[in-house]
Amino acid sequence: MYLQFIFFGLVILLIIDFYFFRAVKSLLSEKRIALRKWVFKAYWIFTLLSVFFFIFASYYYIQKIMPPRFMRIYVTGFIFITLVSKFIGSLFLLAHDTLNFVKYVQHKIAGTKNVKAGNRLESRITRKDFLKKTALVAASLPFASLLYGMFKTAYSYKVKKVYLKVPNLPQKLVGLKIVQLSDIHAGSFLTNHPLKEIAQLVNEQKPDIFFFTGDLVNEVTEEAFPFANILSTIHARIGKFSVLGNHDYGDYFYPKDDFENKEKNKKRMVELHRKMGWDILLNENRILEINEEKLAIIGVENWGNAARFQKYGNLEKACIGCEEVGVKLLLSHDPSHWDAEIRPKRPDISVTFSGHTHGMQFGIDIPFVKWSPVKYLYPQWSGLYQNGSQQIYVNPGVGFIGYPGRVGIEPEITVFELV
């Protein structure tokens, strides 16, 4: 299966490169022979390096060995944005060629004389203009945007304040401040500076309670070890609570039947949370007494409604013992859990706190306009949603995975004030 994946990946990569090369050829005048040769050499050298790295990274993946972090994150990221940009430019070439083909067939059917020669001239002129002004521009725009998102927006941390209206909230709990982080993906950071900034921003909010809603790492627990001391500096007056996300179990690194290593990875993950002072909730709850009022904090393990995601969460087990508490707050990593189980089965849960989607790290989030392709997979993908008396907040996360950046969807630290 892995060899098939490598083969088809290389075929797709080369097809896009060969097709887009036509746009590059059109950019330079045939009179500038020396410059054309250097540009062409650079183009194909980069393609060969991309092929080599694809095979190199695939070898690491098959052998279950972590490739060097810089290569895994930024070399992969640069190749990714280059390929995406070429693909988008190639779509315009394909549309142009399709139209030309349709016109050619129409003329052939109509029996127009001298169509072939005329079409050649028209095609050459149109194509040259099209390739230079459309395909190359179409490729350069996403390239510039994705590159900016990789080096700038990925670290533009936003503190978002939300007044959270909780039904039946006792007066003595009004004003309680909760700070939520999600989807750190520690394996995507090369230095500790971003996480230092995140911890500092959290502490500046002076939270009463801190929530972390899963995906501390990309693959395995060891990715977070270099950052544990920094994350342990996060303070909260009453308590710090956390749950696991789909990436925290080692399921995407170890083979499906390697239960022993997965169990060891989970054990290390749980120990790490506790070492950082985070009270990890594994299908369980904590009942807090604040100002002589009770508040239930419930946490479930990852539960995703899609078949490809784990269903380790046990909502009923997690709620045992807190039935009589009037206000229940739930931490559940995957927001698809809300429609599938939480709303229909537990109408007594006031608010659910989730993450997981990252807002797909791409979209638009400005006043009056909020959109991302991920909305077609998750009805609740970023921000606050309400159905009857129940609410869910989906945090778009502070980290990234896959594409090492963000475009239009900023990394978020959410500050809730209960009202």
**CATH, residue 262:** 3.60.21.10
Task: Find tokens 């638009």 and name the residue.
Answer: 364
Please say which residue of 104, 125, 151 terminates a domain.
151
Answer yes or no: do 232 and 337 share one domain.
yes
Do β-strands 369-371 and 364-366 pair in parallel, antiparallel, or remain unpaired? antiparallel
Within 10 A of 263 (CB to CB), how many other CB atoms are there?
Answer: 13
Please say which residue of 136, 151, 166 terminates a domain.
151
Domain that holds residue 401: 158-418
Answer yes or no: do 246 and 373 share one domain.
yes
Answer yes or no: do 264 and 386 share one domain.
yes
* Spatial distance between the Cα atoms of 190 and 187, rounded to a whole number of angstroms: 8
Answer yes or no: do 208 and 301 share one domain.
yes
Angle, helices 136-151 vs 76-110, to 10°: value is 160
Into how many domains does the chain fold? 2
Within 10 A of 357 (CB to CB), how many other CB atoms are there?
Answer: 25
Answer yes or no: do 295 and 319 share one domain.
yes
Radius of gyration of the chain measured on its C-alpha atoms: 26
Answer yes or no: do 145 and 182 share one domain.
no
Answer yes or no: do 287 and 396 share one domain.
yes
What is the identity of the amino acid at 29?
Answer: S
Answer yes or no: do 116 and 202 share one domain.
no
Could you list the pLDDT tens digit for every one of the 419 residues in the chain? 566 777 787 888 888 888 888 778 777 766 577 888 888 889 899 888 888 887 777 766 666 666 677 777 888 888 889 889 989 988 888 887 787 788 788 888 886 555 454 455 455 545 555 555 677 888 888 999 999 999 899 999 999 999 999 999 999 999 999 999 999 999 999 999 999 999 999 999 999 999 999 999 999 999 999 999 999 999 999 999 999 999 999 999 898 899 999 999 999 999 999 999 999 999 999 999 999 999 999 999 999 999 889 999 999 999 999 999 999 999 999 999 999 999 999 999 999 999 999 999 999 999 889 999 999 999 999 999 999 999 999 999 999 998 999 999 999 999 999 99
Answer yes or no: do 324 and 216 share one domain.
yes
Answer yes or no: do 259 and 338 share one domain.
yes
pTM of the full structure: 0.88
pLDDT, residue 121, reads 47
Answer yes or no: do 108 and 231 share one domain.
no
Answer yes or no: do 231 and 92 share one domain.
no
pLDDT, residue 116, reads 52
Residues forming a β-bridge with 284: 299
Please say which residue of 97, 126, 151 terminates a domain.
151
Q: H-helix or E-strand containing 26? A: helix 2-27
Long-range contacts of 165-168 (CB under 8 A, 24+ apart): 165/419, 166/327, 166/350, 166/351, 166/418, 166/419, 167/350, 167/389, 168/326, 168/327, 168/350
* Spatial distance between the Cα atoms of 43 and 14, rounded to a whole number of angstroms: 12
Using an 8 Å Cβ cutoff, are 243 and 333 in contact? yes
